[in-house]
Chain A
Amino acid sequence: DQQVKQNSPSLSVQEGRISILNCDYTNSMFDYFLWYKKYPAEGPTFLISISSIKDKNEDGRFTVFLNKSAKHLSLHIVPSQPGDSAVYFCAASDVGNQFYFGTGTSLTVIP
């Protein structure tokens, strides 16, 4: 029973363009959402998060949008850079602080 889903396993974007990674969830009790970035042979690295009381959080080139009614969040990276090429995981937690991860989207930024 996968409560957090990333339906696009891969995404390719030209350098300088916007990358949009999507994530859907099913549990309305989730109150905190996160994005992680993962390079091969390394552990995931925290990127950005958003609380359920907000609909947008921005950190430099990274912006996370949350649409609670649609149970959807997205990560925007603009402008995309070759170093952004990695696997991106979204995650959600409930009030019990249990975390659920999506299966990841592999982003390739083409120079």
Chain B
Amino acid sequence: DTAVSQTPKYLVTQMGNDKSIKCEQNLGHDTMYWYKQDSKKFLKIMFSYNNKELIINETVPNRFSPKSPDKAHLNLHINSLELGDSAVYFCASGRYEQYFGPGTRLTVT
């Protein structure tokens, strides 16, 4: 029974397109996060949501927007994709010890 799931696992798309990555957690956590792991393996927080309110918003381009329809879901929408957006994106939930999803490898061509 997967605790944090995200779809799709792989996403290949062209520059300029708009795409979404979905995330769901069944742990009952109030806080969910999106992380980006770049080519240097640096894992950096992008957003976190606590009870459907954005509480951390790192200096990411406004082409990225998190959407939380309910406490169990935090989706990531990306507009006008650029080559530099290619990375692995991880969803996570939990206040202190975080539980991560399997990651979505996004490739922008």
Contact = CB atoms under 8 A, between A and B. Distances in A.
25 contacts: A32-B96, A34-B96, A34-B97, A36-B100, A41-B103, A42-B102, A43-B4, A43-B90, A43-B101, A44-B100, A45-B100, A46-B98, A46-B99, A49-B96, A49-B97, A97-B55, A97-B56, A97-B95, A98-B45, A98-B56, A101-B35, A101-B44, A103-B40, A103-B41, A104-B43
Main secondary structure of the interface of B (DSSP, over half): strand
A89 interface: yes
A39 to B, nearest CB: 10
A30 to B, nearest CB: 13
Interface residues of A, number: 22
Contacts of B101: 43
Interface string B30-55: 01010100001111110010000001
Contact of B90 (A34, A44, A87, A93): A44
A10 B44 CA distance: 20
Given A41-B103, A98-B56, A46 B97 contact: yes
Contacts of A32: 96
Counting from the closest, the 3 A-B pairs by CB-CB distance are A43-B100, A101-B43, A46-B97
A100 B92 CA distance: 14
A27 B44 CA distance: 16
A42 B45 contact: no
Contacts of A99: 33, 45, 98
Interface string A81-105: 0000001010001001111110110
A74 B95 CA distance: 22
Interface string A52-66: 000000000000000
